[in-house]
Amino acid sequence: MKTINNQPCAQGDVLFVPVDELPRGLTREKTNVVAHSETGHHHIVKAPEGAYAFYRLDAMTAYLECEAPVEITHLRQFDTHETIQLGAGKYMVRRQREMTPAGWVMVAD
């Protein structure tokens, strides 16, 4: 498991970037899924209740506020991404995207 403290890191097609403040007007979601996968192998937070808060801005951007270190786990039984531990702090969560003739689309990992 990689331990990340106050620096950008990626887990597959999901990027975690430390931020000083969260944007105004976010709505908290009660979920441990930080990134849904097209095939069901989601990226999830493993932490005690109350250790984090999750906010979605849009389909490509969310925010994670961690009161204590949390683990981000990739739910796939094969060819999985290594679990990462994020230190306490605030993170922007970005999905990787690519430009196509039809416009921007989410990258499938």
**pLDDT for 4:** 81
> H/E/C letters for each residue in 82-95?
CCEEECCEEEEEEE
Specify the number of domains making up the chain.
Answer: 1
CA distance 100 to 108: 13
Q: What pLDDT tens digit does each residue of the chain (109 aa) get?
A: 888 888 999 888 889 999 999 999 899 999 999 887 666 678 889 998 889 999 999 878 999 999 999 999 887 665 567 899 999 999 999 987 555 566 555 555 4
Which residues span the domain enclosing 10? 2-106
pTM: 0.82
